[in-house]
Amino acid sequence: MLLLLGLLGSGCEGGLAPDGSPESLATREQPIAAEQPSGTAEAVWRWYGDPDIAKSSYASPVWFFPGGGTIICSSTMIGPNLMITAAHCGEPDSLTLSFLTYGADDTTAKRFEDFTCRVLLSTWHSSDLALYYCGPNAQGENPGDKYGYIDIESRPLAVGDAVYSIWGNPLDTPTPSQYDVRFYSRGVITSTTDQGTFTTDPAFVQVNPQTGQPDYLTSHERPIAISTDLWGNYGASGSSQLSATTHRLVVGPLSTISTPDGRGRHALSMSQYLLDGTVDGRDTNTPRVRSANISALGLNPANYTGLLDKDHDRLIDLQEDLELLRGESARGWYALEFESERRNALWTPGFATVTFDTNVRIVRIVRTRYGFEPVLSHRRLNLTPGTWRLSVMVDMASGDVPASLWLGLQWRDATTNVVSSQGRWLTTPAGTGWGMHAVEVTVPANATGIEVVVASDVHVDARLGALNVIRAGTVMNMDSADTRLHWRNDVNGARGRVVPRGVNSNTRTDWAVRVQYDATSPAGWPIRNRQFALIGGRRYKLCFDYKQESSGMGGVMRVLSTGQERVRHTFTPSTSWQHTCTPNFRVTTDDNNVQFGVSAGTGSYLVDNITIEPQRTFVNEPGTDRPGSDISNFNLTAADPLLCEDACANEPACVAYTYVAPGQQGPTARCWLKNAVPPAYPLSTCQSGYLQ
């Protein structure tokens, strides 16, 4: 039998919890004697080379009482503002949540950031989950938007399933002892049939006649607890356990530890919490629903006694209601990957059958009627007026016409109340596989109620993925969960390495992309991002900061447009941050892949603060010659007029060009750059162009 009372020896503090409740047991940290190798109990910075573990660690804070002191418990962000921890840690009305990242591969470069949180509800006495609301920092950034959050996976678990956890404690060695080390522990599920106080059947929690309040002493234990062999310690209470394959939260807040500073953890699965996790409304000494804190969010506290998930949609009702009410926080970059049930719930289905599949991160839209109508819309992004670029991947199974879907923004004029929209039809013939599309929309200053709309006017069966909404001028700085999401290893498709080693990491948490040599594919591209929403036919420069992590490194980046290289840029990282820009280039389609690679050395370098700088475009004139006003002429390496246009775009004095086909002025194609726009003459072997 696993009783919370059994923890009162050396690692827990009995008696009154910080909220004054006599039955809540507030755990406090206990130092770990020494790290245990191979991921058993190691400082998480040793695992920053694994991008999934690093990502999970950013979203795994610890907490303590306001004003400082020792760590009380660990916790997990499950959304932009909501955090879960163990109810037995004490349920203080207010607490300080502390995030920790490492700016170097050691313990000397710790970067802390604290947020204030208020308790909303808990499932004590029948189980051990507490839910808190954590407000934004002074810059208006929500903790989950900045550090990330971990989605819940509600599948049944089995003995042998691989799991891991991120948690916080001091470390006694090496001396002097280190305060607050974030540890990574991994192991497997050892039992799904344990029992203890935290496995109480909600229907059997009785009122204690001596106190007049419900308590865990009147419990009815059930064999439903999850046990694992993960390392634990006091202070690890409240930490979640994640699937080692999906990196989702599968075991809820840690309730008990069988051996202090050793193996053995016990808690409930998230599946069980969503099945019958219950908020007991009978408590009066320590209400399990904090009415004032919930009311302050604009919600009705009376709705949140009883089951956490009354509608059985595998989401915590209070979280779902809050995010439907408030929507996403306004920002410059939204990555809508369809991988999160919580975020998918913010979409509004239209006149179609809409099915989300979080396993493959797509949404399927099936429409069997005619007439132009929305089939899917998102009105909860809190977008503001300005210029936005949207991108989406589409796989058309069937459609009456090749352009069966429309993507854009819709808004209402705040003065006239007239609804307007702007976007374009996405041409994707059925059966051609996934295609990338990008749209640019400018929303006027008097617009309100701006929403993303996918529409159709015909029969259609299509899958959509990787939808991005990006405000023009937004810097890809890797400092929000959404800007870190789409970085991938272009060698193996795995998540890209994004580490807290950015330009400003010497003073605060600041992320950067790590580009690391891959011996298995030395000529490959270890980092790429296809979600910059570059518009086909437009010209751009990409600028970025870079710095070496290993000596002797050479860097290279390129942009592919539907597989064709449109620009290549080399640079040599040094020990200090440097800034560079690519040449001016034109992407030929919406399907563009930004890649970073290693041109020399076998180590790694960092990239931060990527900016997308639109450039003036050219009016192209096939079959046209514009003789005169020449400033230079030269042979081209290929018979491609775009190479001549690129040359003009990157020559400050050039405003026009003429391309001459091979065989006219020699065996190769020739390019003429001009400082004015001479008169045009028809000539089939030429193509001219001039800056708009």
Q: State both tokens at 672.
A: 């003429």
Q: How many angstroms separate the most distant Cα atoms in the chain?
A: 103
- Tens of pLDDT, residue by residue over 425-441, are 999 999 999 999 999 99
Q: What is the share, in percent, of the chain residues with pLDDT greater than 70?
A: 96
Which phi and psi angles does 656 have, rounded to 5°?
-155, 160
577 against 198, higher pLDDT? 577
Residue 93 has pLDDT above 90, yes or no: yes
Half-sphere exposure of 489 (CA within 13 A, CB side): 22
**Which amino acid does the sequence have at 519?**
A
Q: Which residues does residue 555 pair with via DSSP β-bridges, in sequence order?
A: 571, 598
d(CA 215, CA 288): 12
Q: How distant is the alpha carbon of residue 367 from its chain centre? A: 30
Mean pLDDT of 468-480: 97
Residue 26 has pLDDT above 60, yes or no: no
The overall average pLDDT reported for the chain is 93
Angle, alpha carbons 408-410-411 (nearest 5°): 150
Using pLDDT thresholds of 50, 70 and 90, give the confidence band for residue 393: very high
Angle, alpha carbons 295-301-302 (nearest 5°): 145
Q: State both tokens at 684.
A: 């089939």
d(CA 438, CA 552): 38
Half-sphere exposure of 279 (CA within 13 A, CB side): 26
DSSP state of 662: T
Residue 21 has pLDDT above 50, yes or no: no
- Tens of pLDDT, residue by residue over 499-531, are 999 999 999 999 999 999 999 888 899 999 999
pLDDT of residue 1: 31
- Tens of pLDDT, residue by residue over 413-427, are 999 999 999 999 999
pLDDT of residue 683: 95
Residue 3 has pLDDT above 80, yes or no: no
d(CA 196, CA 220): 9
Residue 680 has pLDDT above 70, yes or no: yes
d(CA 452, CA 352): 16
d(CA 232, CA 267): 12
Using pLDDT thresholds of 50, 70 and 90, give the confidence band for residue 27: low
Coil, strand or helix at 642: helix
- Tens of pLDDT, residue by residue over 336-365, are 999 999 999 999 999 999 999 999 999 999
User: How, if at all, do strands 333-336 and 306-307 pair?
Assistant: unpaired
Q: Which residues does residue 653 pair with via DSSP β-bridges, in sequence order?
A: none
pLDDT of residue 14: 28
Give the DSSP H/E element, type plus range, for residue 1. none
Burial class (CB in 10 A: 0-12, 13-18, 19+), 105: middle
- Tens of pLDDT, residue by residue over 55-67, are 999 999 999 999 7
Nearest to 267 by CA among 323, 190, 341: 190
Spell out the domains of the chain, with CATH numbers in brackets. Answer: 4-279 (2.40.10.120), 333-471 (2.60.120.260), 481-615 (2.60.120.260), 618-691 (3.50.4.10)
210: Cβ contacts below 8 Å, ≥ 6 apart: none
CB 352 within 8 A of CB 366: yes
- Tens of pLDDT, residue by residue over 618-633, are 999 999 999 999 999 9
pTM of the predicted model, to two decimals? 0.93
